[in-house]
Amino acid sequence: MLEKKNLELLRARLDTPCKIVITTHHKPDGDAMGSTLGLYHFLKSFGHDVVVITPTDYPSFLHWLPGNDLVVDFEKLPTVSIKHVNEADFIFCLDFNALSRINELGEHVAQAKGLKIKIDHHLLPDGFEDINYSNIKASSTCELIYDFILELGSSDHITPDVANCLYVGIMTDTGSFKFDCTTPHTHEVVANLIRKGANSYQIYDQLFNQHQFRRLQFVGFCLSNRFHYLPEYNTAYIAITAQDLKDFGISTGDTEGLESYPLTVKGIRLGALIIDRTKLVKLSLRSKGDIAVNEICRDYFNGGGHKNASGGSSTKTLDETVQDFLAILPKIKHLLNS
């Protein structure tokens, strides 16, 4: 909830058209792009000059989102991006809790004169913002954007474009409403977004039914050849080499969803997707119950996130990173087998 002084400040300053930048974390997912583009359409309806800047590219299955063609990729257009950041009156920082999450763009955001507003649902923020709108119990940043709009008293500005974008982030961050972050409020928000014009069938179809055939072949290969089952630890993991990615022509977003497969096995309480991305080895951990994978990522893999869904990375080789992951299991065996 916004403090009264901040609410009044935003209402007053957003009443006059100004220059606004919206950004989100590197390799944005559905919640990142849904929240940035949802807020983009909302602010544009007031006549503001709004630019969405992403630190990197993002999955092609999100390119159908309204406003996608206007997104500025910092890696491709650094000079243009920096100019927008330097001239912005407001910089909205969505779905990340530290400027390191937006790579080199973070240095420019830190130095920018514009008022920085963070809207996020992750733990352990680093406090770079001027105004914080955060709730770690929220299902997604898109849910928070909806609440933010309501607090501003501007629900009549939720157009079908806004509704579709916000629905995307809520659907993806809740795992299609199956994760325990899904609350009664989440369903109330989604119901209202549908009333405002969100097309739930079309959104699901665009997100999950538009993959290339090679991606299906890749998933089959990973489940048959890269899946490791450790029943003594109620753990399973998938380890993918850089050559695997090359052989199947894998691009940004094609590995999305693979991290959920280990937890589909009966009895599994900890799952991991470990991928050699050449420069770094990336890890995505998922868990059930009281197994806090955000602590594992923070303590061992320079990462973090949510209690049951987190990510990290390693500068070691894929095999070494896998061994580091396996070395953790005996230390938490009591949790894995409880």
Write out pLDDT tens, residues 123-178: 888 899 999 999 999 999 999 999 999 999 999 999 999 999 999 999 999 999 99
pTM, to two decimals: 0.94
Tokens standing for residue 15:
């009443």
175 and 102 inside one domain: yes
119 and 262 inside one domain: no
Across 175-199, average pLDDT: 96
Q: How far apart are CA 222 and CA 226, in angstroms?
A: 5
Q: How many domains does the chain have?
A: 2
123: domain CATH number? 3.90.1640.10
184 and 297 inside one domain: no
Q: How far apart are CA 284 and CA 305, in angstroms?
A: 10
pLDDT of residue 14: 85
Please report where in the chains the tokens 């538009």 appear, as a residue: 210
Can you list the pairs that 108-113 forms with residues at least 24 positions away whose Cβ atoms lie under 8 Å? 108/81, 108/82, 109/23, 109/85, 112/85, 112/86, 112/88, 113/86
Q: Which amino acid is at 277?
A: R
154 and 170 inside one domain: yes
169 and 220 inside one domain: no
Across 21-28, average pLDDT: 97
Across 198-218, average pLDDT: 95
- What DSSP string describes 106-144? HHHHHH--SEEEEEE--SS-----SEEEE-TTSS-HHHH
pLDDT of residue 125: 86
Nearest one of 188, 181, 102 to 140, comparing CA atoms: 181
Query: Which tens digit of pLDDT belongs to each residue from 268-316?
Result: 999 999 999 999 999 999 999 999 999 999 999 999 989 999 999 999 9
For residue 286, the Cα-to-chain-centroid distance in whole angstroms is 14
Across 223-250, average pLDDT: 98
List the domain range (segments joined by +) for residue 281: 213-336
User: Which of 186, 208, 230 finishes a domain?
Assistant: 208
pLDDT of residue 139: 97
